[in-house]
Structure 1
Amino acid sequence: MRFNFFTRNSLPDTVNHEGAAAYTLTPQMELYAAVATAALGEQFYETADTRLQRLRALVAKNDPRFVAQLAVYARERLYLRSVPLVLAVELARVHNGDSLVARLVARVVQRADEITELLACYAQANARTGPKVLGRLSKQLQRGLAEAFNRFDGYQLAKYDREGAVRLRDALFLVHPSAKNEAQQALFDQLVRGELPTPYTWETELSALGQLSYATPKAREAAFRHKWEELIGSGKLGYMALLRNLRNILEAQVSADAIGQVCATLTDRFAVARSKQLPFRFLAAYREVKSLSGGPVAAVLAALEQAIAHSAANLQGFGHDTRVVVACDVSSSMQQPISARSKVLLYDVSLVLGMLLQSRCRNVVTGMFGDTWKRISLPQGPVLRNVEEFYRREGEVGYSTNGYLVLRDLLLRREVVDKVMLFTDVQLWNSSGDGGTLAQEWARYRRKVAPQARLYLFDLAGHGSTPLDVRAEDGVALIAGWSDKVFDVLAALENGGSALTEIEKIEL
């Protein structure tokens, strides 16, 4: 995890999902990697239930304070919602005696629907079913949820009072929050009676419009065009909603002024920062827009390029003379959705993060590996366009995981570089039968060509093992996650820290 260890010749102590020799991680590192890459959906090598069971076991192995810090880090820095709630529930099972769990719950529950999601998770974790699905609640969970309840106003409670295994009304009866004042007590009473006023949201506005009758199809189109223009002009369409509705907005043929407002919002660096979008969300929007035709499409695509560029604007550690290799894994296991409900693949995440990095480096080699390793020259700057170019060509290298070829190529060329970045699910193996491994090639490359070089494994799946011993290997580090915040970890490593340094800074 750090770069100042003396290299020791440790031996592999496990095998990965492909049966190749691998190294286990410390409990802290394994939990960090599993959490940072958790969509809690089915993956190529691991079911959602398997991941949940592994998270449970790892929570029990780790210091409670670290678990709490990691949960807050996942919610506030990695923009994940479900897995911090899982960590809070699991921590409540194994830790008591102080207010740590209560403080954690109050911190990670940031939307009203997360109250009910946490309670549903609690019921599942404790095998609660039937009419009394919740039963008694941990005192610390109850205290944390009570504090969370007190933060939400009538709009937030009404917006997220949805059907489900647990309703907000059920949660209110279970948690018994003390109202801060008479006005809040009135809101709680309205929630119990089901009388909270319907909140104004873009969804309710469009839904109401869809219920009306129209004389002609053109009249309907005009009504929706006007409504989209109104929503855009009002500023009440949030950044995520805007990003997800770009296709609908363009198909509604809104005015040029409205398109101008859309592009201005998309490219506002402060709006991008506040929105906390994962970088691959921009790729999903880009692909939806690119499938359309018409005058405004080009402007919106350019705006999306500028928006995602803001994600890497403050990337540190790469001077003009820093020599970097960015290698993306395109193996079969990377061609899987990050969750059952997503169209985004692990491969997409790999390419987006890789191209964000490439956009900030002056002296960079980019490429992809599968059966073979292939260098691909791309212009610096257009992140999303470069991702699409990679995506178009991924079949050119096959679908194995011969990551060692990246290093062997550098060795054969006697090419000196400073940093080698592998974006992968870390389940590397050798399909060629020549016996080469990433660990062997890395040792040879550093010994014969570039003793100062550093190898970064960007783990996008969190399966719990690595092809090199990151616990002790000199010049090797593991970074996990799908967010642009992985680059904060990169900066910490450059300053002598570890992948856990940013997590351990979290104050509770």
Structure 2
Amino acid sequence: MVNTQLFQTLRGTLMPTANALNEAGGAAFLPSPKHQLAQLAATGCLNNTFYTKAESQLDTVLSLASEVDPVFVAKTAVYARRAGHMKDMPALLAASLAQRDVGLLTQVFGRVIDNGKMLRNFVQMLRSGAVGRKSLGTRPKKLVQQWLLSATEAQLLNASVGTTPSLADVVKMVHPKPAEAWRAAWFAWLIGRPYDTAALPPLTQSFERYKRDRAAEVPDVPFQMLTALDLDTQAWARIAERGSWQMVRQNLNTFARHGVLALPGVADAVAAKLRDPQAVAKARVLPYQLMAAYTAAGPEVPTVVKEALQDAMELALANVPQFAGRVVVCPDVSGSMGSPVTGYRKGATTAVRCIDVAALVAAAVLRKNADARVLPFETKVVSLQLNPRDSVMTNASKLAAIGGGGTACSAPLALLNQEKARADLVVLVSDNESWADTARGRSTATMQEWAQFKSRNPAARLVCIDIQPCATTQAQERADVLNIGGFSDEVFTLLALYAAGGLGADHWVGVIEETAI
């Protein structure tokens, strides 16, 4: 008699076979090389994470970049920078194009290498030899020269902050030939060569003047250039007043420590800047960065400033959609989600964890969809009551406080199946390293539970959001399953498009394919 455990009669869509193991050793699906590259570009940080070493990420990205066509690499670099607000990955993809297709690099350079930090990243990655060359080469060198010769004084000053390489190193490397007297004097000033003081541009002149005389006006230069000087509270107040939105957000505790926020009117001015809609949009702030600033704000930071961060969060999440039908959002709160979202980097590890980002996504969806159901999970669903009227920060903090346990991405689906529940959209937010659930066959437990759920909810859709660098997924991409990666507000844009049926068969990869170069 035939073994009916091996040859069961299947109902519904044919169950896909898992074709890979994830980093935790669990059964998983390995998407197409294009999808893998897109996933890594949107989440990869080139740092050590809970499961992945930085070197492994680098090798994987470079291997995928050489496997897919260079046009897709260029589009992914633009997408990861412009929509995903990533830094290291777009620079790495641009550097890989310098080796593979310098013509394409020329086309996308300005949209990927869009500030001095990105320029220095690009140069360092090329000269390291990691992408197959240890020199810039003629065309990349000209692109770097063009950036230096077209940047404003303010852009050059901002680019001069940082090392490995420093902007001075870059200038010495590419030897730009400026036509303007001010630029020639500025480059000489930067690299420590003789220069005509009178020819220096205004901001740099004011900086040199302030170094000689503290009674002079505090110059409007990057504050890192000033912190080595002996500054009083009023000087710090001028820095706070003039600082960029991101700079102010990152230095609230510093300003409080120097007594700036206790000065009359300053806290209100800082709060007004932080909650300004245009400033928030221009800053391209990641929602999790606001959460980081809010949780890190010490007791000396006034309440009005902390409330402004919450207002800024609401603005940053303006494109969180309101969905039609019943919504279930499932944040992963397992032990591995306690790792830093952008990985471990000596001296620069973020305090924001993967669980914070997952909680933030769930709380944001709940904020716009008051009847949404939130099912935090590890090996099982964790019971937690949330008030949809509470702020995103409040609910995200409650979710992030759970933490611990193994990972079973199928757990919330299994609970929904036990309850014979109905829903139109299910959103899983995880690092996808599921290992504690047991599949009954050759597919993943997540896909098996989803198949059962679909038998009761034929029009339902599943979205799996990956917030850590990982090439594998728990649910195979198909018409009713979308796998996306990242932690910018672009995730919500794609979520809305997909839920409304606005993404085609290629889903997320299709969005990147449509990126203009």
Q: TM-score interval w.r.t. the shorter chain?
A: 0.7 to 0.9
Instruction: Return the offset for 1:455.
Output: 0.7
> Could you tell which deviates more after superposition, 236-245 or 193-202?
193-202
The alpha-carbon distance between structure 1 residues 348 and 180, as it changes in their structure 2 partners (threshold 3 A), is farther
Distance 1:383 1:469 in 2: 31
Instruction: Return the offset for 1:40.
Output: 1.2
Alignment of 1:129-140 (within 5 A): 136-140=135-139
Amino acid in structure 2 at the alignment position of 1:202: F
The corresponding residue for 2:213 is none
How many residues are treated as equivalent by the alignment? 470
The alpha-carbon distance between structure 1 residues 161 and 313, as it changes in their structure 2 partners (threshold 3 A), is closer
The alpha-carbon distance between structure 1 residues 207 and 172, as it changes in their structure 2 partners (threshold 3 A), is closer
Instruction: Return the offset for 1:178.
Output: 4.5
Amino acid in structure 2 at the alignment position of 1:503: I
Distance 1:43 1:25 in 2: 21
Secondary structure at the residue paired with 1:369?
A: coil
Equivalent position to 2:467, from 454, 460, 472: 460
Amino acid in structure 1 at the alignment position of 2:399: F
Given that 2:413 and 2:450 are in contact with CA atoms closer than 8 Å, whether structure 1 keeps it comes out as: yes
The alignment's TM-score, normalised by the length of structure 1, stands at: 0.85
Alignment of 1:53-452 (within 5 A): 53-96=59-102, 99-126=103-130, 136-161=135-160, 164-179=163-178, 181-194=180-193, 197=204, 198=207, 200-210=221-231, 223-224=232-233, 226-232=234-240, 234=241, 236-251=242-257, 252=259, 253-289=261-297, 291-292=298-299, 296-297=302-303, 299-316=304-321, 318-319=323-324, 322-337=325-340, 338-340=342-344, 341-380=349-388, 381-394=390-403, 398-431=404-437, 437-447=445-455, 449-452=456-459
Instruction: Return the offset for 1:126.
Output: 4.7
Distance 1:365 1:127 in 2: 46
1:21 and 2:30 aligned? no
Distance 1:185 1:205 in 2: 23
1:364-415 deviation digits (Å, cap 9, x = unpaired): 0113111210242212240111111122233xxx411122120111112222
> Could you tell which deviates more after superposition, 371-380 or 271-280?
371-380
Given that 2:430 and 2:467 are in contact with CA atoms closer than 8 Å, whether structure 1 keeps it comes out as: yes
Secondary structure at the residue paired with 2:366?
A: helix
1:298-319 deviation digits (Å, cap 9, x = unpaired): x223221111111222333514
Distance 2:161 2:322 in 1: 46
Given that 2:287 and 2:316 are in contact with CA atoms closer than 8 Å, whether structure 1 keeps it comes out as: yes
Which segments of 5 or more consecutive residues in structure 2 lack a partner in the other structure? 1-11, 208-218
Distance 2:336 2:312 in 1: 29
CA RMSD of aligned residues (A): 2.6
Secondary structure at the residue paired with 2:25?
A: coil
The corresponding residue for 1:219 is none
The alpha-carbon distance between structure 1 residues 231 and 189, as it changes in their structure 2 partners (threshold 3 A), is closer
Distance 1:281 1:48 in 2: 22
Distance 1:432 1:127 in 2: 40
Instruction: Return the offset for 1:430.
Output: 2.8
Secondary structure at the residue paired with 2:99?
A: helix
Which segments of 5 or more consecutive residues in structure 1 lack a partner in the other structure? 1-5, 129-133, 211-222
The alpha-carbon distance between structure 1 residues 55 and 258, as it changes in their structure 2 partners (threshold 3 A), is same
Secondary structure at the residue paired with 2:375?
A: strand
1:37-82 deviation digits (Å, cap 9, x = unpaired): 1121101111101100101001001111111111111112211122
Distance 2:14 2:177 in 1: 58
Distance 2:454 2:134 in 1: 59
> Could you tell which deviates more after superposition, 43-52 or 113-122?
113-122
Instruction: Return the offset for 1:363.
Output: 1.8
Amino acid in structure 2 at the alignment position of 1:171: V
The alignment's TM-score, normalised by the length of structure 2, stands at: 0.84
Distance 1:333 1:306 in 2: 30
Given that 1:206 and 1:227 are in contact with CA atoms closer than 8 Å, whether structure 2 keeps it comes out as: no
1:505 and 2:511 aligned? no
Amino acid in structure 1 at the alignment position of 2:510: T
Given that 1:228 and 1:254 are in contact with CA atoms closer than 8 Å, whether structure 2 keeps it comes out as: no
1:37 and 2:43 aligned? yes
Amino acid in structure 1 at the alignment position of 2:155: Q
Distance 2:283 2:87 in 1: 14
Distance 1:183 1:114 in 2: 24
Instruction: Return the offset for 1:181.
Output: 4.1
Given that 2:127 and 2:136 are in contact with CA atoms closer than 8 Å, whether structure 1 keeps it comes out as: no
Given that 1:328 and 1:367 are in contact with CA atoms closer than 8 Å, whether structure 2 keeps it comes out as: yes
Instruction: Return the offset for 1:183.
Output: 4.1
Distance 1:462 1:41 in 2: 10
Instruction: Return the offset for 1:433.
Output: 8.6
Given that 1:492 and 1:502 are in contact with CA atoms closer than 8 Å, whether structure 2 keeps it comes out as: no
